[in-house]
Structure 1
Amino acid sequence: MLPAAETARDVAQIIQLAVAPVFLLAGIGAFLNVCASRLARIVDRAREVTPRLLASRGSEHDQYVSDLRVLDRRMALVSRAISLTVLSAVLVCAVVVLLFSASLVGLHAATAIALLFIGSMISLASGFFIFLVETRVAARALRISQDILEHEPDGSGSE
């Protein structure tokens, strides 16, 4: 017989306790999906620009080099955000395992559980912050110049 969890009711309470972190894992998974999709788009864009870079000369070549540098930075940022977010998910999994283990065998692991959860939140927040930085880098790289926005195709001035 299990020392701390002797009845089905005890096991049900343990499961209820572990459900909240599992919902957190679902949210983390959704964020990882967004990050992975963003990374795939960045990689696709880099693959599109690379042949153009090799075939270009002069200022056009310099622009493609600049574009690839931005894409490389964005790839690094998204990859870092993914790594931190995955670390957060692993720490949440450790929290769930410890919650079950501690309850089933009577282990006193409250401090470890709290520290793992704090570590998970710090890692997740860091991943979100780096993702924010990446979106800012992307937005800055894609700014449309005022000359283009103010250009009037027919030259008449107004419609």
Structure 2
Amino acid sequence: MSPFPGLLPDEAVDSVAHLIQTALTPIFMLSGIGTLLNLFNTRLARVSDHIEKANETLETTQEKAKRHYLHQHIRHLHRRTLLLDASILLGAVGGASTCGAAFVLFLGSLRDSSVASWLVVMFGLALACTVGALATFLCDSLLAWHGLRVTTSWARSVRPNG
């Protein structure tokens, strides 16, 4: 028996409910990708600020050992910016693909045509790019952790004994 007697047959309610459930998947994924992009952009801004500070310190430092360390540190930070740029690019493509999947799903429901192959391609691309964005972000995190260990060991080596 239909929840709306006389308005919609049971099959129509089931197909509308299925369409709504299917349409929500890309929306949740897009929300998650948006959160990741915000995280990546915030992290990139912090790394950029750190590069500026290191460059300012480099300009005022005369000590050869410290200048060498700062040059290495700036190169390390530039590698991190490349990884974060890749994370942002992949996340953006993943978000656009998610939107494309939702659009294809919408067109398929309007035209009542078979768009399954386009839907699989768009959603698959969104998933692959999101995984790629997370992988490059993991690489940035590993570089950041490595940088912390190097900075800590360098600071210990230049600290006066006593």
Aligned residues: 146
Deviation at 1:107, TM superposition (A): 2.2
Taking only aligned residues, the RMSD between alpha carbons, in angstroms, comes to 2.3
Distance in 2 between residues matched to 1:147 and 1:138, nearest whole Å: 16
Deviation at 1:13, TM superposition (A): 4.8
**Which letter does structure 1 place at the counterpart of 2:52?**
R
1:101-131: CA deviations, max 9, x gaps? 0111122110110111111111111110000
Structure 2 residue 51 is the aligned partner of structure 1 residue 46: yes
Which range moved further: 43-52 or 87-96?
Answer: 43-52
2:127 counterpart residue number? 121
Distance in 1 between residues matched to 2:90 and 2:124, nearest whole Å: 14
Distance in 2 between residues matched to 1:119 and 1:147, nearest whole Å: 44
Structure 1, unpaired ranges of 5+: 1-6
Distance in 2 between residues matched to 1:88 and 1:114, nearest whole Å: 13
Cα 1:15–1:64 shift into 2, 3 Å: same
Structure 2, unpaired ranges of 5+: 1-7
Q: TM-score, normalised by structure 2?
A: 0.81
Task: Name which of 34, 45, 52 aligns with 1:29.
Answer: 34
SS of the residue 2:131 aligns to: helix
Equivalent pairs: percent with the same residue? 28
2:4 counterpart residue number? none
Structure 2 residue 132 is the aligned partner of structure 1 residue 104: no
SS of the residue 1:72 aligns to: helix
Distance in 1 between residues matched to 2:90 and 2:127, nearest whole Å: 10
Which range moved further: 29-38 or 82-91?
Answer: 29-38
Q: TM-score, normalised by structure 1?
A: 0.82
1:107-159: CA deviations, max 9, x gaps? 211011011111111111111000000000111011032994xx9x8x6xxxx
Distance in 1 between residues matched to 2:126 and 2:85, nearest whole Å: 18
Structure 1 residue ranges, 4+ long, deviating more than 6 angstroms after superposition: none
1:3 counterpart residue number? none
Higher relative contact order (CA 8 A, sep 6+): 1
Distance in 2 between residues matched to 1:33 and 1:147, nearest whole Å: 32
**Which letter does structure 1 place at the counterpart of 2:41?**
A
1:20 counterpart residue number? 25
